[in-house]
Amino acid sequence: MGKYDADKYKEQLLFHAFDSMPGGVLIYKANEEEEILYANHATLTIFECDSFDEFMELSEGSFKKMVHPDDIELVESDIENQIITGIDKFDHVNYRIITKNNKVRYLEDYGKLVEHPELGLLYYVFLVDTDIKYLTYDVDKLTGLPGQKRFDEYATRLLKLMSINKDAPEMVYIYLNISHFKIINIKYGIERGDRILKEVASILKDTFKNDYISRFADDHFALLTVHEGIKEKIESVSRRIMDIELIGNTIELKIGAYLVTDYNEKAEISVGYAQIACESIKYQAGEHFIYYTEELGRKINLQYYVVNNIEKAIEKGYIKVFYQPVIRALTGELCGMEALARWIDPEVGFLNPYDFISALEDARLIHKLDRYIVEEVCKNYKRCVENDIPLVPVSFNLSRLDFVLTDIRKEIDDLAVLYNVPKKMLNIEITESMFMEDASRIKSQIDGFHESGYNVWMDDFGSGYSSLNVLKDFDFDELKIDMVFLSNFNKKSKDILESAVMMAKKINIQTLAEGVENKEQFEFLRSIGCEKIQGYYFSKPSPYEEIIKNCEEKGAVVEELSESEYYDRVGKVNFLTDKPLAISEDDGKHFRIFFANELFSEILRDSGVQSVEEAERNMNNPDNPIHKMLREFAVRVQENEEKEMTYPYGKEYMELEARVIAELNGRYMYALSINNITKNVNMKEKI
């Protein structure tokens, strides 16, 4: 074997080797024109040119013209930056080109700036057709779609290129997920599941023809597309997917969208937002499509925070119980409070239940909060007893999941025993919407609570869909009428409130209206016989001490527990009557009129008594003959000997009817009716 003749082969091999390379080789001058000196065979293939001349014609012999016009500016500055700042005068850029057949292709360009002894500064460039590169990399075998990594690279690159174009269209990331796909797989088999995925992929390809679509994993797809017309396309995709044949089931898509605002943001981040949006409607039946918003992002971050920090918040006492007073409509006395959770976090600040309850329910951690609130309520009771602070019964809210995740009844019982709290001091609120599922389990729990001696209230009555049904099937002691009826306070909602109160009395349930914000609402509710009132009109939820202090400052009376049953009996009276009605209390010395309906007041006025206050003064004035008559009449009514009394007033004869409705240690509550006999006789004569 002879000596290896390098020079002999150099010439022969060099260009042959370049032409046989699996990637493009390009040499151009680093001058203003960026004059192309050489392109190998692979470069010609990329540009779909048959000869070097054709390529030179297409590129006008210049690198500037070879690159897609929308990309060249960014590419040039990118190359320059890298050459200046990097070592070895090396650059790596991506751009689009347009082939001879007008196809757009993506190239990766690895270039190096080199000084040639005769030709001066040259760029030696190695070109890779990215689409070809990716053909063998990160492809989903099932659908043929690119995977997540490839999607991220592509989308990031595309948007970066678009960022320099002022007229670039608005772009949107779309994230799609098939609802309950795991169940489909289990129910119909993996093979059928796979076929569905393929069908979904082909529907997407068909709808988003020019877009880059990817299957990330399982039933998760993503794509990047123009924003214009997106709703129609989404609708069409959803419809076509619902049409996929699946015995006894339809396939439902959940779709999140993220409108691109920063074209330089990495795809993995942007598509993450679309995914977050998509997941936010995962459990919301009927919701298919949602845009990511900052508000949604904030909410989701918060949910994440809540779930991760609930134990710490309980341990460190960041969760506080706020109390909202409940007022007896008849007397204006404080007769109860509702315990409402507040999370006052040193890091994220003040959180309302709406910020954390549903997150805790989703994470199946709600029972931890609810048990803690009950314990705090019990502790507060014990502290008040020990320190002689006024006390009223407290109601607290339970969640449906409390019944599933723990033996909530036993937990409450144990706490009541531990802190020595009488059952009557604890009322349980269960929201109406809870009865949609697990009805039989909840029914037995309610019965159990009753057996233990607690009162159970239905919260948010009227806010859900099946209020009346729930009332029929479950036993409640009190109805909390939802504030929806007050927020739009018109004739119709008033009629509904009237009927609800009347119905509750008929089926022997007490009534409480929540969300009362002004005097008008309060007076109306009082006039229809709604027994208890809760709302900002009296107080916002506040710490216990503050409520008691406020009551003391205003001279408001705190109802004794023994009085509650007494007043509760008055609550059974139907105020909605077409007869004159007044409610009056008598402690043996003093009469007090708590309430008189319009007709009652009118008859009084007709007979010359201008107001209820005047009537009360007359009744209690020892110099007024009425006083003595009424005192004697009261004794006979209490003994059940008489019901009616006739007395003269001015020129008229009046008839008073009285009935004892409640009694407590010598205090009597009467329902009164009144009749102007003279006037009625006259009326009859006229007729």
Q: Is 152 exposed, middle or buried (0-12, 13-18, 19+ CB in 10 A)?
A: buried
In our burial notation (b when 16+ CB lie closer than 10 A, e otherwise), range 588-617 reads: eeebebbbbbebbbebbeebebeebeebbe
Applying CB under 6 A, which of residues 214, 270, 280, 431 lies at the interface with ligand C2E?
431
Least distance to ligand C2E, CB of residue 499, Å: 21
Applying CB under 6 A, which of residues 111, 393, 529, 541 lies at the interface with ligand C2E?
541
Interface segment toward ligand C2E; rule CB under 6 A; list 53-61, 348-356, 447-455, 465-473: 348-356
Question: What SS3 class is residue 302?
Answer: helix
Applying CB under 6 A, which of residues 370, 478, 531, 559 lies at the interface with ligand C2E?
370
Distance of CA 558 to the CA centre of its chain: 36
Applying CB under 6 A, which of residues 203, 341, 359, 500 lies at the interface with ligand C2E?
341
User: How many Cβ atoms from other residues are within 10 Å of residue 441's Cβ?
Assistant: 12
* 107 versus 373: smaller Cβ distance to ligand C2E: 373
Question: Is residue 571 near ligand C2E by the rule CB under 6 A?
Answer: no
Q: Which residues of 19-167 form beta strands (DSSP E)?
A: 24-29, 36-39, 90-98, 104-116, 120-129
Question: Is residue 536 near ligand C2E by the rule CB under 6 A?
Answer: yes
Q: Tell me the one-letter amino acid at 212.
A: Y
Least distance to ligand C2E, CB of residue 317, Å: 15
Applying CB under 6 A, which of residues 354, 388, 553, 639 lies at the interface with ligand C2E?
354
Tell me the C-alpha distance between 550 and 334, whole Å. Answer: 11
Interface segment toward ligand C2E; rule CB under 6 A; list 67-75, 364-372, 522-530, 592-600: 364-372
Asked if 111 and 124 count as a contact pair (C-beta separation under 8 A), the reply is yes
Tell me the C-alpha distance between 365 and 370, whole Å. Answer: 9
Maximum distance among all Cα pairs of the chain, rounded to whole angstroms: 150
Question: Is residue 357 near ligand C2E by the rule CB under 6 A?
Answer: yes
Q: Which residue has the tokens 């009826």?
A: 485
- Residues in the chain, overall count: 687
Applying CB under 6 A, which of residues 515, 529, 571, 580 lies at the interface with ligand C2E?
515
Q: Which does 399 bind (CB under 5 to 8 A by kind): Mg ion, ligand C2E, none?
A: ligand C2E
Question: Is residue 459 near ligand C2E by the rule CB under 6 A?
Answer: yes
Question: Is residue 353 near ligand C2E by the rule CB under 6 A?
Answer: yes
- # binding residues, Mg ion (CB under 5 A): 4
* 23 versus 535: smaller Cβ distance to ligand C2E: 535
Applying CB under 6 A, which of residues 397, 455, 564, 673 lies at the interface with ligand C2E?
397
- Segment 50 to 109, residues that bind ligand C2E, using CB under 6 A: none
Least distance to Mg ion, CB of residue 355, Å: 16
Least distance to ligand C2E, CB of residue 313, Å: 13
Q: Which does 353 bind (CB under 5 to 8 A by kind): ligand C2E, Mg ion, none?
A: ligand C2E
Question: Is residue 336 near ligand C2E by the rule CB under 6 A?
Answer: no
Question: What SS3 class is residue 531?
Answer: coil
Q: What is the DSSP string of 544-584?
A: HHHHHHHHHHHTPPBPPHHHHHHHHHHHTS----SS--EEE
Which of these, 155, 428, 406, lies nearest to 274 by C-alpha position?
155
Q: Which does 531 bind (CB under 5 to 8 A by kind): Mg ion, ligand C2E, none?
A: none
Q: Which does 536 bind (CB under 5 to 8 A by kind): ligand C2E, Mg ion, none?
A: ligand C2E
- Which residues are CB-neighbours of 83 under 8 A, at least 6 positions away? 89, 90, 91, 113
Question: Would you give the binding string for Mg ion spanning residues 417-446, x where CB under 5 A is met?
Answer: ------------x-----------------
* 81 versus 352: smaller Cβ distance to ligand C2E: 352
Least distance to ligand C2E, CB of residue 429, Å: 6
Applying CB under 5 A, which of residues 153, 459, 531, 586 lies at the interface with Mg ion?
459
* 310 versus 337: smaller Cβ distance to Mg ion: 337
- # binding residues, ligand C2E (CB under 6 A): 26
Tell me the C-alpha distance between 147 and 136, whole Å. Answer: 11
Applying CB under 5 A, which of residues 130, 397, 534, 618 lies at the interface with Mg ion?
397
Asked if 41 and 47 count as a contact pair (C-beta separation under 8 A), the reply is no
Asked if 653 and 607 count as a contact pair (C-beta separation under 8 A), the reply is no
- Full 3-state SS string of 232-297: HHHHHHHHHHHCCCCCCCCCCEEEEEEECCCCCCCHHHHHHHHHHHHHHCCCCCCCCEEECCHHHH
In our burial notation (b when 16+ CB lie closer than 10 A, e otherwise), range 333-357 reads: bbbbbbbbbbbebeeeeebebebbb
- Segment 476 to 495, residues that bind ligand C2E, using CB under 6 A: 483
Q: Tell me phi and psi for residue 90, to 5 degrees.
A: -115, 145
Applying CB under 6 A, which of residues 143, 275, 280, 324 lies at the interface with ligand C2E?
324
Which chain residues interact with Mg ion by CB under 5 A? Answer: 397, 429, 459-460
Which chain residues interact with ligand C2E by CB under 6 A? Answer: 324, 340-341, 352-354, 357, 366, 369-370, 373, 397-399, 429, 431, 459-460, 483, 514-517, 535-536, 541
